[in-house]
Amino acid sequence: MYPLCERLGKAEDARAYNERITSWTGIESAAASAPTPSKEDLTGFEK
C-alpha cells in the first residue's frame, strides 16, 4: 500500500494507514478487554 500511495504523492496517508495496520493487534486486545457499555451509555439517557 505504501509504495502505491507514495507514487500518487500520498505518502502521509500511507504512513497513517501503516500505523493503523501495525497497531491493529493492540486495538483488538484493548477492545476485547473493555467493559461492555450499558444501554444508557449508548443512548445517553437514563432509564
Per-residue pLDDT for the chain (47 aa), expressed as one digit of tens each? 778 888 899 888 888 888 988 999 999 999 999 988 888 877 777 65
For residue 29, give the C-alpha cell.
486486545
Give domain status of residue 1, yes or no. yes
Residue 35 lies in a domain: no
- Give the number of C-alpha atoms closer than 13 A to the C-alpha of residue 31, restricted to the C-beta side: 6
Q: Is residue 44 part of a domain?
A: no
SS3 18: helix
By CB neighbour count within 10 A (0-12 exposed, 13-18 middle, 19+ buried), where does 10 fall? middle
Instruction: Examine residue 20 and state whether it is found in any structural domain, yes or no.
Output: yes
Domain count, the chain: 1
- 45, part of any domain: no
Say what the pTM is: 0.50
Structural domain includes residue 10? yes
The reply to whether 36 falls in a domain is: no
pLDDT score of 29: 94
Query: Which residue range forms the structural domain that includes residue 2?
Result: 1-30
pLDDT of residue 46: 63
Instruction: Report if residue 12 sits inside a domain.
Output: yes
